[in-house]
Structure 1
């Protein structure tokens, strides 16, 4: 059922509808005619307000959870409010400063992504989610530096200046000459390529016997490539923080919905696919309840925004997932600002 345009509602119907939606977002409870009349924002009797509430219910914008209860917005009503009536509240200078500081206080990009997910959770009082960038930077060199008898440090250097380190177990008795030969061999075939492209070419050359490496150096090459390949395959595609925020006092009254939502969050591949649908958006996209298949049963909302690197390329999506009574007016601009702030940290 499609919602009617806001322009088709009378002024008093719009005002009463707005009060019901904002009351629901504030406390998650239905709002009745007596409470609306007592609030003093509408100069109508409770009987007149009940009539308007009935009209709004007939339009599919409101619903009464119980016979004697007040009304609360339906998903269709929330969509009408978000698209046609919501007035966003831009982050304050203090809020912007806090977000930027928390994202930039960690050096490694992995830690910045973790911090981003936590920030999103904190500002929304829901679950924060961040898709890890799937980027394959062009590389310049790989160095193997012996630390002790059984360990070496593998340093991967990107052409953009990025550096990542991993520890590598090496056979006892490995010589410095073997480490240097493996380093020179990999670097010569790595420069200007992605790791995936270089690893494929190196493995073909090694397996065909054309590498002219000695046995020790060949084993080091294979180990060095393996540790990075394994790291990429096991790296999470999604970071989720703040699931505990979903267990508030109101949620405990509908524990099945919360259990369904938490189960959905565990399905990280499906969550990633949902976030991917916001990849081409210019700013935050809002999915309310059953508008998205994944969270339809739990009746949850998703606010997602793409984030870009310094060249303007979309490298991932971040957002929040929570109950449909999310404070959209506050959270939407916060999500957008967080996306821009994270983008500044992506090389």
Structure 2
């Protein structure tokens, strides 16, 4: 659906004004701010066409119009002029925050940065863990209770409790750990499981059971998704009247943060794209609320896309500001994580 230049100019002016002050925009105001030398009657006709095409809507209470999700989509795809923000100033500010600490700390800081710069909620999907381990250890806690200690390639450590039906001696535990580390260190638990099935026939039966239990638990530990999404600044969204004006939408918003699964789907979709993506509420089932938009970008470690980050805010957000914030934070997070891995 092609919009002519006048219709585009008016739609752009309307969306920008509505984002700025949240009030429906009338024809008289548009004739002042659009810079077009058109009579109010002509503007009204063009606005009626835009409304018919589904780009703007008239709230019942006023003579003005507001953008629809479809209007926002045309705006962000074709009419938006992204602000040039002072990248170097922002980079030096962000770099200090993203240079220090563990991978998890860096990611939490990135979510915090997105939130404080956008004044909405910042969100980061943590890198998918490789299920590769460097080494494991068994610690005997008490009879039939063993702590499995898994050391990942980056030195991160995870623990899992194993409840066994046999009471293993410390010597047996050392032997089992040595066998796994010498033969399988550096592989994924899934690979180990396949190999163990073939190779362990020769070993004693109860040792086989211990190793299989360790591989199962290790695989679970590496695929544990409990902390996959880091969110910062959800409270900011409470002060956005578009999102918190009624209890139904407020409940939807907090359901979203509670469940995290729809956020995961959304961010999974955007990790397959390059660059900044904008999801506008009401367009797809991915964003559960009409008044909400999500601006995302994938981030990488050593050139491989490992996760996604973004800003969740009202549809009426200053996209020209939020897009470069998301873009630069993704680049800086990629650099910071590549250094900690490198």
TM range (shorter): 0.7 to 0.9
Q: 2 CA distance for matches of 1:267 and 1:146?
A: 36
Residue in 1 that maps onto 2:244? 252
**CA RMSD for the aligned pairs?**
3.5
1:163 aligns to what SS in structure 2?
coil
Residue in 1 that maps onto 2:70? 76
Residue in 2 that maps onto 1:235? 225
- CA shift in 2, pair 1:89/1:203, >3 Å: farther
1:105 aligns to what SS in structure 2?
coil
The alignment status of 1:124 with 2:118, answered yes or no, reads: yes
- CA shift in 2, pair 1:100/1:90, >3 Å: farther
Residue in 1 that maps onto 2:317? 326
- Following TM superposition, by how much is the alpha carbon of 1:82 offset from its aligned partner in structure 2, in angstroms? 1.0
Residue in 2 that maps onto 1:9? 5
Contact 1:319 1:335 in 2 (8 A): yes
The alignment status of 1:306 with 2:276, answered yes or no, reads: no
Residue in 1 that maps onto 2:158? 166
- CA shift in 2, pair 1:60/1:222, >3 Å: closer
Contact 2:280 2:290 in 1 (8 A): no
Select which of 78, 92, 96 maps to 1:101.
96
- CA shift in 2, pair 1:179/1:296, >3 Å: closer
Deviations 1:307-337 (A, max 9, x none): 2221x22222222222211221111122122
Residue in 2 that maps onto 1:61? 55
Deviations 1:47-89 (A, max 9, x none): 6654543343344322211242421111221111111111112
- Following TM superposition, by how much is the alpha carbon of 1:232 offset from its aligned partner in structure 2, in angstroms? 2.8
- Following TM superposition, by how much is the alpha carbon of 1:163 offset from its aligned partner in structure 2, in angstroms? 0.4
2:81 aligns to what SS in structure 1?
coil
- CA shift in 2, pair 1:220/1:94, >3 Å: farther
Q: 2 CA distance for matches of 1:40 and 1:271?
A: 37
- CA shift in 2, pair 1:36/1:95, >3 Å: same
- The size of the alignment, in residue pairs, is 331
2:113 aligns to what SS in structure 1?
helix
2:253 aligns to what SS in structure 1?
helix
Q: 2 CA distance for matches of 1:139 and 1:233?
A: 12
Q: 2 CA distance for matches of 1:65 and 1:285?
A: 29
Query: Normalization by structure 1: what TM-score?
Result: 0.78
